């Protein structure tokens, strides 16, 4: 995981995501999830590409069950983009770099 990617927990979610001044991309994942492993390098890349415009974090759903449950995360990987503390977009499953960039650009522009 890139040093630019935050490790988000149930306890830090409000501070890091809801109260963030920047939009936040949260990757909901698990260690045993192969598609999550496929998306991980892309999520890391987005943290570098959009540094200063977008915060990027990852939440392990096995170690943090409250927030994923509250948000209705049923499948992983699920990438949720929050803006002003509200969910702006949700991407379920594996997507291409260009698809992810397009979705991010819609929220941060």
Is 29 within 8 Å of 40 (Cβ atoms)? yes
Catalytic residue among 8, 33, 40, 100: 33
3-state helix, strand, coil in the chain (%, to 5): 35, 25, 40
23 closest CA partner among 86, 66, 101, 74 = 86
18 is catalytic: no
40 is catalytic: no
Catalytic residue among 5, 6, 36, 100: 36
What are the catalytic residues? 33, 36
């Amino acid at each position: 995981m890139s040093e630019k990617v935050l490790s988000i927990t149930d306890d830090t979610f409000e501070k890091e995501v809801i109260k963030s001044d920047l939009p936040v991309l949260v990757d909901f994942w698990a260690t045993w999830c192969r598609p999550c492993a496929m998306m991980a390098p892309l999520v890391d890349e987005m943290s570098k590409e959009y540094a200063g415009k977008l915060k990027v974090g990852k939440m392990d759903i096995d170690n943090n069950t409250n927030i994923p449950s509250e948000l209705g995360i049923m499948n992983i990987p699920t990438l949720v983009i929050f803006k002003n503390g509200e969910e702006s977009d949700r991407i379920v499953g594996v997507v291409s770099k260009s698809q992810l960039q397009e979705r991010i650009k819609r929220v941060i522009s």
